[in-house]
């Protein structure tokens, strides 16, 4: 039996390893509520764990560290999420008066690792019931803690994003950048040395990690698209909801608060402010409602953070996806993956495409700076032709491909 360690109550999850010939997969991440898939990391975590469950024909027990009081044990796609409350953080937060647990000051990071050690100590008791544990997170020490506790279980480590290449590219540009990311460098090396297999989202990431860390055993599992469509009929039905078939629809998935995303929002608003409002529709998603004051064109719509189903609809109604990222940033490149899933034409910078497998290069126009971006948008608005054929990504195809990739991961153990 596997217990849920919750401050308010204890739930019991049946260990299905006694009911099947295939042993159970455990997982650990410090992300809170990844099944809601509100970020690119959440999408990768939940899709990977759900596909592992389907590939093995069993349940995945996923322990997740959380500073919130989560009641219940949610089960999503044969993944059972077990909350591991951050007790030390919560106690210290009440004493110090912390209100925002995303503030990564050094003391707060120390509480993270203390809480992680407490959680891993409990997870280690369940390890004999599993054949492997998947550790997900770039700044985790879970693999090291498991080995320190003499836990004899195979560890699959997924750092989630392109941090290896970020370190490499930034260190080449400046020694100060290497020092700034030195802590991550040490943590990542420690994780790799205590894991049986590393997973990276692209060949570029994997090759860079091999170069930097003398890594031998690694495998590539590309990021899954954050959206897909159940059928072509569903996609066409959503597309028919657009209110204007003559004007081109542009969409910018602006992502979370950060300098590169803010620059993309500002640049895009500036470009489209200068265009005639009757020639286009622009939709911007993400936490950027405070930028509405910069909008001077009635055809620009800042929608804020939208639910997953609404995102599918917006992408189905759009014609062009925008990704004007002109400086390197670590991430999961979910913007481009979402645009490709809806088979949009794309205007993007090289930084937005780094390490990705491009399915239809003819639909991508690469812009290298702000001036090329302005010209590309103006030309697209002027030359837009409605009624183009579209081939969206179907969920069955996405899930089948991802399960095949994860089956290869299991064979490598």
Residue pLDDT, tens place only, 136-167: 988 899 999 999 999 999 999 998 865 555 66
Q: What is the DSSP letter of 229?
A: B
Query: Is 149 inside any structural domain?
Result: yes
- Mean pLDDT, consecutive 10-residue stretches, the chain (413 aa), reads 41 39 81 83 88 83 82 75 87 73 65 91 89 89 94 90 60 67 79 91 82 81 88 91 86 82 90 91 90 91 86 92 79 80 91 77 89 93 84 88 79 71
Q: What is the pLDDT of residue 69?
A: 66
Q: Are residues 71 and 25 in the same domain?
A: yes
Q: What is the spatial distance between Cα 60 and Cα 16, in angstroms, rounded to a whole number?
A: 9
pLDDT of amino acid 331: 55
Domain annotation covers residue 179: yes
Q: Looking at the structure, do residues 144 and 199 belong to the same domain, yes or no?
A: yes
325 and 176 together in one domain: no
Alpha-carbon gap, residue 191 to 145, rounded angstroms: 10
**Under a CB-based contact definition with an 8 Å cutoff, are residues 199 and 210 in contact?**
no
Structural domain count of the chain: 2
Is residue 390, in this structure, part of any structural domain at all? no
Check whether residue 268 and residue 333 sit in a common domain: yes
Residue 126: give the domain boundaries: 2-225+397-412
Identify whether residues 259 and 376 lie together within a single domain.
Answer: yes
Can you give the C-alpha Rg of the chain in angstroms? 22
**Are 183 and 258 members of one domain?**
no
Distance CA 372, CA 271 (A): 11
CA 146 to chain centre: 25
State the burial class of residue 52 (Cβ atoms within 10 Å of its Cβ: 0-12, 13-18, 19+): buried
Within-domain flag for 388: no
* CATH code assigned at 142: 3.40.50.2000
E-only strand ranges, 9-129:
12-13, 24-29, 60-66, 75-76, 79-85
Identify whether 391 is part of a domain: no
Based on the domain organization, do 247 and 112 belong to the same domain?
A: no
Query: 389 in a domain, yes or no?
Result: no
Q: Is 214 helix (H, G, I), strand (E, B) or coil?
A: coil
- How much is the pLDDT for 411? 76
The 3-state DSSP class for residue 26 equals: strand
Output the pLDDT for position 220. 87
User: 392 lies in a domain?
Assistant: no
Can you tell me whether residue 47 is helix, strand or coil?
helix
Same domain for 144 and 165, yes or no, is yes
Residue 181 CB partners (closer than 8 Å, separation 6+): 166, 167, 170, 171
User: pLDDT at position 6, please?
Assistant: 42
pLDDT tens-digit map of 194-238:
999 999 888 878 887 888 788 778 888 888 888 899 999 999 999
> Does 142 share its domain with 218?
yes
Asked if residue 247 and residue 126 are part of one domain, the reply reads no
Whether the model pTM is above 0.85? no
**Token digits of residue 387:** 């009624």
């Amino acid at each position: 039996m596997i217990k849920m360690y919750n401050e308010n109550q204890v739930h019991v999850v049946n260990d299905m390893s006694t009911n099947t010939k295939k042993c159970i997969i455990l997982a650990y991440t410090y992300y809170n509520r990844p099944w809601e898939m509100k970020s690119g990391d959440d999408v990768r975590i939940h899709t990977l764990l759900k596909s592992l469950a389907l590939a093995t024909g069993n349940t995945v027990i996923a322990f997740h560290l959380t500073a919130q009081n989560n009641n219940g044990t949610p089960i999503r796609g044969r993944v059972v999420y077990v909350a591991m409350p951050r007790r030390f953080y919560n106690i210290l937060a009440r004493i110090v008066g912390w209100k925002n647990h995303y503030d990564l000051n050094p003391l707060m990071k120390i509480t993270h690792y203390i809480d992680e050690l407490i959680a891993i100590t409990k997870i280690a008791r369940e390890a004999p019931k599993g054949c492997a544990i998947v550790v997900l997170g770039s700044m985790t020490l879970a693999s090291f803690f498991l080995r320190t506790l003499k836990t004899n279980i195979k560890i699959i480590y997924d750092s989630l994003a392109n941090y290896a290449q970020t370190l490499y590219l930034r260190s080449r540009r400046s020694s100060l950048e290497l020092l700034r990311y030195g802590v991550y460098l040490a943590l990542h090396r420690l994780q790799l040395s205590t894991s049986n297999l590393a997973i990276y989202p692209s060949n570029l990431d994997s090759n860079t990690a091999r170069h930097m860390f003398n890594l031998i055993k690694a495998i590539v599992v590309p990021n899954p698209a954050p959206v897909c469509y159940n059928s072509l009929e569903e996609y066409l039905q959503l597309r028919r909801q657009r209110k204007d078939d003559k004007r081109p629809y542009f969409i910018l998935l602006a992502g979370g608060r950060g300098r590169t995303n803010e620059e993309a929002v500002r640049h895009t608003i500036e470009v489209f402010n200068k265009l005639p409002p009757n020639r286009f529709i622009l939709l911007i998603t993400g936490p950027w409602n405070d930028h509405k004051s910069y909008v001077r064109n009635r055809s620009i719509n800042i929608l804020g953070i939208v639910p997953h189903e609404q995102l599918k609809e917006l992408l189905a109604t759009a014609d062009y996806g925008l990704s004007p990222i002109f400086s390197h940033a670590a991430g999961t490149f979910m913007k481009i993956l979402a645009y490709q899933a809806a088979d949009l034409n794309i205007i993007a910078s090289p930084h937005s495409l780094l390490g990705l497998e491009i399915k239809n290069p003819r639909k991508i126009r690469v812009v290298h700076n702000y001036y090329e971006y302005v010209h590309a948008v103006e030309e697209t608005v002027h030359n837009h032709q409605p009624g183009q054929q579209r081939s969206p990504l179907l969920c069955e195809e996405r899930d089948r491909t991802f399960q095949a990739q994860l089956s290869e991961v299991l064979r490598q153990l």
